[in-house]
A and B are shown apart, each in its own frame.
Chain A
């Protein structure tokens, strides 16, 4: 049913720490690996080893450059479905294949009823849905619904594949509807925010901003950059220049 649930019992989602992420793409590749065999299987690729490779991925890692001069920053930026609370990607679906679960707030596509009209991808401002041309249905992040409740795998693995794979601990998973959960506390402490909040879909996933650069007196940022001394033309210098030339012949 494409009507949105009035409320959900939980708001399961991810918290992504932009201060920690190093842009290694481990989350994206691990996601692809798990989901091409799991709920979203297959995640088809086209021309994977050729000149124009493309394919359905549920997680993408961008790198942005932000700010100017000495304050400029490189920010690695993973992007996947944010499991919004009031998204039109659900309500525009003509078949009811796109839905939001009442029990935990996960937004899913039913691969057995999706007709592949692509309208839901048009309604997502985050570019989070990718169409699978071979399978003929829409693919999106499932929050690893086939891992998190899966009692046949060890308990440590009952978290989304991206969270499990991240080598730096830049990704958290939990109930963002519960103010006492670890993820909620982290969001509160670090000033976690919504992407494109102005749009009004109320994303559940949160992003933690890069920390401000620490400025300690006497550290590099406060001093003028070190100068390379100019050659003074002394005999010693000429000797070394001659030796350098002779040896590199």
Chain B
């Protein structure tokens, strides 16, 4: 599948934003953070900023962004619509929470608002994953592992951001570093599992099934219907070379998981210079997740390519 940059930016940026929102909300609910409203305010502004930037980017690839309001209507059947509804709904408690911190009001309302924000973050990211995981036309996406990956990666990138923003203000509590490390290990394991799964599945549909001509023999394309690639080939036929993908997978394992984990560990053990180490961890992970998301699209194969020379999909 063609990796649209607006969608890569959207899913990674808003994913990290929802992850950050999740952790800062949990910290509120369980009273795990030193009471510092400016720290909390900064964190929620970063979270909402990333989410908003992502959502705006996602409308950029639409043919008619001005009609985007209509996309909230079909939540009964469409995961894309559900995602939109969940994203907007999450703004309500999180926006109120930001407002409370900005004004410095002391209120116990923060707890239910934080709970709702955390739930909203999880639901929205799950919907994003399900947009892909509900497409039976793409075997690399039609997997329960896909929403799981989206959730864990949002949590991990959010945790790194949470640690970084905390480190700028004060000592990072040990539970934050531990959460980062556990998250990174889980995400790496899930991603490797995902790659093993897609590599092991050759695809159950064939060109013979697509054309229904298998009873005569093997089907080979002779003349294409058009001299140059059409929309379907450009959008659905994009494929990354196997060797290239292997390299990028190794880069993801290193950049998105190993290097950030090493930095977090150093910060945890050294006890000084935490902002620098978390900054490096976050920046490297940012490049890593963009490559991860690019690969998620580039490695995905669409069934319609059976009409254009693919033997299996």
Contacts and interface: CB of A to CB of B under 8 A. Distances in A.
Interface in B230-257: 230-232, 234-236
A216 interface: no
A95 interface: yes
A88 B134 contact: yes
Chain A interface size, as a band, is: 35 or more
A24 B146 CA distance: 44
Interface stretch (A176-184, A193-201, A241-249): A193-201
A92 B230 contact: no
B227 to A, nearest CB: 7
A202 interface: no
Nearest to A56: B231
Interface in A136-160: 136-137
Given A66-B219, A127-B307, A136-B64, A118 B235 contact: yes
Interface string A16-50: 00100001010010000000000000000000000
B70 A97 contact: yes
A91 B74 CA distance: 8
A194 B70 contact: no
Given A53-B228, A68-B217, A94-B84, A193 B212 contact: yes
A122 to B, nearest CB: 6
A60 B226 contact: yes
Contact of A91 (B77, B234, B303): B77
Contacts of B67: 95, 113-115
Given A28-B225, A62-B224, A198-B209, A130 B230 contact: yes
B228 A64 contact: no
B212 to A, nearest CB: 5
A73 B70 contact: no
Nearest to A76: B223
Interface string A75-106: 10101000000001001111111000000000
Interface stretch (B24-32, B135-143, B175-183, B286-294): B135-143
A152 to B, nearest CB: 30
Contacts, number: 201
B304 A126 contact: yes
A115 B64 contact: yes
Contacts of B79: 92
A64 B154 CA distance: 45
Interface string A115-137: 11111011111110111110111
A125 B137 contact: yes
A210 to B, nearest CB: 7
Contacts of B72: 94
Nearest to B67: A115
A64 B219 contact: yes
A75 B136 CA distance: 28
Contacts of A195: 210-212
A145 to B, nearest CB: 22
Contacts of B307: 62, 79, 126-127
Contacts of B77: 2-3, 91-92
Contacts of A95: 67, 70-71, 73-74, 81
Given A93-B74, A122-B137, A66 B218 contact: yes
4 residue pairs, one from A and one from B, having the closest CB atoms: A116-B63, A136-B63, A67-B217, A127-B304
Interface of B: 1, 61-65, 67-68, 70-74, 76-81, 84, 131, 134-138, 204-205, 209-213, 215-232, 234-236, 302-308
